[in-house]
Amino acid sequence: MQAHRLALAVYKATTQFPREEAYGLRSQMRRAASSIPANIAEGCGRTGEAEFARFLRISMGSASELEYLLMLAWELNLLARLRHKQLSEATQDIKRMLTSLVQKLTADC
């Protein structure tokens, strides 16, 4: 459930973004963050480990996108340093977990 908590944290962190970012960076960050657990859930609903691994890789791409967007938000002074660090570390943890799970699912292939 860590990916879900990250999505919630990103939603909360972006509520204070300026109004002009409502359809820009805020929206992109929220989509990337919510895409991570959404693709994990969708992959769980598919048949076979190969399909599940494919959706985990899509989640990994969303996590990588979020990593960049977090850095951009910090450099634009939209996120405080501590908040950026917390969200970035959580994103990196999720990426490590996704990598490990994909490796386990594809070990026999």
Q: Is the separation of the CB atoms in 98 and 60 below 8 Å?
A: yes
> CATH classification of 2-106 is 3.30.420.40, yes or no?
no
pLDDT at residue 1, rounded to an integer: 61
Q: What is the pTM of this model?
A: 0.93
Q: Per residue in 41-63, pLDDT tens?
A: 999 998 889 999 999 999 999 99
pLDDT above 90 covers what percent of the chain? 87
Is residue 7 within 8 A of residue 44, CB to CB? The reply is: no
Please give the pLDDT value at position 22: 84
Average pLDDT of span 23-47: 95
Mean pLDDT of the chain: 95
Could you give the CA distance from residue 61 to residue 66 in angstroms, rounded to a whole number? Answer: 9
- What stretch of H or E contains 92? helix 81-106
pLDDT over threshold 60, residue 109: no
Is the predicted pLDDT of residue 69 greater than 60, yes or no? yes
Inter-residue contact 63 to 94 (CB < 8 Å)? yes
Q: How many Å apart are CA 13 and CA 96, to the nearest integer?
A: 23
- Residue ranges of the domains in the chain? 2-106
Nearest to 32 by CA among 86, 99, 76, 87: 87
Host H or E run for residue 64 = helix 49-75
Compute the average pLDDT of residues 9-18: 96
